[in-house]
Amino acid sequence: LNSMEDPDDSCPEQIPGVKEALKNNDTAGAAKRIKEYLEKQTNVSLNIAITGESGAGKSTFINAFRGIKNRDEGAAPTGVTETTSEVTPYPHPDNPNLVGFDKYDFFLIISDTRFRENDVKLAQKIQKMKKNFYFVRSKIDNDIRAEESVSDSSKEKTLTKIRDDCVQRELGIESPRVFLMSSFQLHKYDFSLLQETLERELPKDKRDTLLYVMPNVNPDVISKKKRL
């Protein structure tokens, strides 16, 4: 899209003080405001903790979230055997401040099966810290394929079954939020729902940073980015 087609496209007048400066023919002042605003935006750091058992699909998810393929340069190494053994910061290519693992804004707990005791223990600790956490059930593409080969129940039914089954009730997390995901097909399943949820639950300045780094998996995200 070019700006002709979209009246909403980047509107610097919305930055505080810019409209007033322009009204007074103070273009230098307007430019200064815009510059300060942009600098402030890129200095907001957003730290996302991604945890889960070996092989759960953490590194693949990080790569997908950063909009890169596992085999691309700079990708987190992924593999069928235990691959990542250190806490590793993966800054988003567009934002040097997006380091992953020292100070967390929220936690994603990833599992390719049911969430296990360790996942739940962690969730309880996070809850005590009054931080947000989200369960991500990974590799849903595999489940869909497997289910299709053995029964003719609908895809929706399979998804509902997995969702219900994911966090066993007796483990003691009240109303856990579970997002079903395939890192190979981010646009499917619950990724957009996760994006919306994160956006809603983050403070405003962090929300913009999140939006800035998120992959463009749906038109809604693209139009929101344009408004930043």
**Which residues of the chain form contacts with ligand GTP (CB under 6 A)?**
52, 54-60, 78-80, 82-84, 138-139, 141-142, 182-184
CB of 76 to Mg ion, least distance (A): 6
Which C-beta is closer to ligand GTP: that of 106 or that of 189? 189
176 binds, among Mg ion, ligand GTP, none (CB under 5 to 8 A by kind): none
184 binds, among Mg ion, ligand GTP, none (CB under 5 to 8 A by kind): ligand GTP
Using Cβ positions, the residue closest to ligand GTP within the complex turns out to be: 84
Using Cβ positions, the residue closest to Mg ion within the complex turns out to be: 84
Residue 198, Cα to own-chain centre: how many angstroms? Answer: 7
Structure tokens at 27: 């273009």
CB of 144 to ligand GTP, least distance (A): 10
- Give the 3-state secondary structure percentages of the chain, helix then strand then coil, rounded to 5: 45, 10, 45
Which C-beta is closer to ligand GTP: that of 61 or that of 208? 61
Which C-beta is closer to ligand GTP: that of 182 or that of 195? 182
Which C-beta is closer to ligand GTP: that of 82 or that of 170? 82
Residues at the site binding Mg ion, with contacts judged by CB under 5 A: 59, 83-84
CB of 192 to ligand GTP, least distance (A): 16
Pairwise CA distance, residues 151 & 61, whole Å: 28
CB of 183 to ligand GTP, least distance (A): 4
Cβ-proximal residues to 227 (8 Å cutoff; 6+ apart), any chain: 8, 10, 11
In contact, 122 and 109? CB cutoff 8 Å: yes
CB of 79 to Mg ion, least distance (A): 8
Cβ-proximal residues to 61 (8 Å cutoff; 6+ apart), any chain: 50, 108, 110, 136, 138, 181, 183
AA identity, residue 54: S
Alpha carbon separation from 132 to 71, 129, 216, 221 (Å, rounded): 31, 9, 23, 22
